[in-house]
Amino acid sequence: MKMPQSHHKSHHKLYRLAEIYDIAFDFKDFASECEFMMSVYENIIGRKPESWLEMAAGPARHTLEMARLGLQATALDLSPEMVEYGRSLAHSAGVKFEYMCGDMAEFILKQPVELAGLLLDSASYLLENETVYRHLNCAADALVKNGVYILEMAHPADHLTGRKSTRTDWESARDGKKVRMIWGDESDKLDVISQTTETSVHMIVTENGQSTEIVDTCPQRFFTCTEFRALVDASGRFEIVAQYGAMDRQIDLRHKKAWRMISVLKKR
Ligand SMILES: C[S@@+](CC[C@H](N)C(=O)[O-])C[C@H]1O[C@@H](n2cnc3c(N)ncnc32)[C@H](O)[C@@H]1O
Enter the pTM of the model: 0.95
Claim to verify: residue 148 and residue 262 sit in the same structural domain: yes
pLDDT exceeds cutoff 90 at 186: no
Claim to verify: residue 208 and residue 250 sit in the same structural domain: no
Which helix (H) or strand (E) segment holds residue 56: the answer is: none
Q: How many domains does the chain have?
A: 2
Claim to verify: residue 227 and residue 185 sit in the same structural domain: no
Determine the structural domain holding residue 209 and report its residue range: 160-219
**Which residue ranges have their beta carbon within 6 Å of ligand 1?**
6, 10, 15, 25, 56-58, 77-79, 82, 103-105, 119-120, 122, 125
pLDDT at 6: 42
- Average pLDDT of the chain is 94
Contact 115, 150 (CB under 8 A): yes
Q: What is the CATH number of the domain that holds 177?
A: 2.20.25
pLDDT at 234: 98
- Quick one: which of 139, 147, 165 has its CA closest to 245? 165
**Cα–Cα distance for residue pair 64/73, rounded to 1 Å:** 8
Instruction: From 3, 5, 10, give the residue whose CB has the most ligand 1 atoms within 8 Å, as the site to mutate.
Output: 10
User: pLDDT per residue over 39-83, tens digit each?
Assistant: 999 999 999 999 999 999 999 999 999 999 999 999 999 999 999
Claim to verify: residue 65 and residue 33 sit in the same structural domain: yes
Claim to verify: residue 9 and residue 129 sit in the same structural domain: yes
pLDDT at 2: 40
The CA-to-CA distance between both ends of the chain, in Å, stands at: 35
Contact 13, 112 (CB under 8 A): no
Averaged pLDDT for residues 211-233: 97
Claim to verify: residue 176 and residue 60 sit in the same structural domain: no
